[in-house]
Amino acid sequence: MHMDKIDIRRGDLHLLVVFDAIYREGTVTRASDRLHVTQSTLSHSLRRLRELFGDPLFERHGNVMTPTPKARSLIRPIQAGLEMLESSVNQIVPSQPRRVRQKLTIGMDSTDVAGFLPELVARQDADSDYDITIARYELNKFETRLVTGKFDVVIQPLAPHSEHVRHALMTREGLAVAARRGHPAVVGGAIGFDDYMRQRHVLITPGNASWDLVDMAFRQSRLNREIQVRCQDYWTACEIVQLTDCLLTGTRTTIGKIAGSFPELQVCAPPAELNMEPQDVYLYWHAARENDPANRWLRNNLLAILREASQEAVSK
């Protein structure tokens, strides 16, 4: 039955904990494991939640419980309320009242956040002040996270997905090579194939990242480089490159952004013999979030930032 005003006294606080668990986990099974209760107990609580809010809240799509628009509108205030209650119970007194900001999560499993994240944060204002998180996942297994709302968007190469997922081309990303100024293998701003393959290289390997445009290009070309150093991020890699004769190969957009902070670096195109064609990178989001203002802000800015950065890299 539709209700204009919900009487919270008809329920109990544990129902809100159950709602949060189902939303986060995406299945009754995982939610029951999270709360250490039986599935039948959780199913009973879900029935009470549906009665309380007059809405299904979650609809089953295969093995996944997909939040309804009503559930999506409830999750932020419910999570904020539970967090405030937990802080009060544990006598955590903030120095000043905390303003709850909406969280936006970008799913990606590559290293190229430097190409867009600083600019994305800089584009926020009083009307678009979000907590932004980068989250990793197993390659191509992103749809469940979009369905359950764990991810707001996903960035990766083209991948299979259902009709419930929308996508748009973000950029056609090429590669670039960073070397120290005065590197003997770089002549006239270019490096030859033989010289490139003879050099030692820095490889960026952040955790369990399962795809990387550089690795994809080398696998397709069936080539192996001599890797001298493996590190976690572009910044450290550039520090190494400007002090040694090692080379760093990465996405053109990210290297172009970071190299500006390293005056001792020069950037050139990879040798043509590597046959490293630009790769398409896409932005994915769930159809249910198509008209969500926060999701739309995130999509529009990500698309604009990556496209502008790609155009700048090409013009250099």
- The CATH number of the domain where 265 resides is what? 3.40.190.10
Residues 83 and 154 in one domain: no
**Do 187 and 140 fall into the same domain?**
no
Domain assignment present for residue 1? The answer is: no
Q: CA 73 to CA 54: how far, in whole Å?
A: 14
Dihedral (CA of 268, 274, 278, 280) sign: negative
Q: Is 114 found in the same domain as 82?
A: no
Please check the confidence at residue 4 and state whether its pLDDT lies above 60. Answer: no
Model pTM above 0.85:
no
Do both 140 and 288 map to the same domain?
A: yes
Report residue 104 as tokens.
């936006």
| Amino acid residing at 151 | F
- Write out pLDDT tens, residues 253-296: 888 888 888 989 999 998 888 777 778 889 999 998 898 889 99
Token pair for residue 54? 């007059």
Same domain, 180 and 254: yes
Domains contained in the chain, number:
3
> What confidence tens digit (pLDDT) does each residue in 167-206 have?
999 888 888 999 999 999 999 889 999 999 999 999 887 6
Domain limits at 71?
8-89
Q: Is 233 helix (H, G, I), strand (E, B) or coil?
A: coil
Check if the beta carbon of residue 150 is closer than 8 Å to that of residue 25.
Answer: no
Whether the predicted pLDDT of 92 surpasses 80: no
Residue 236 counted as domain residue: yes
User: Residue 19 falls within a domain, yes or no?
Assistant: yes
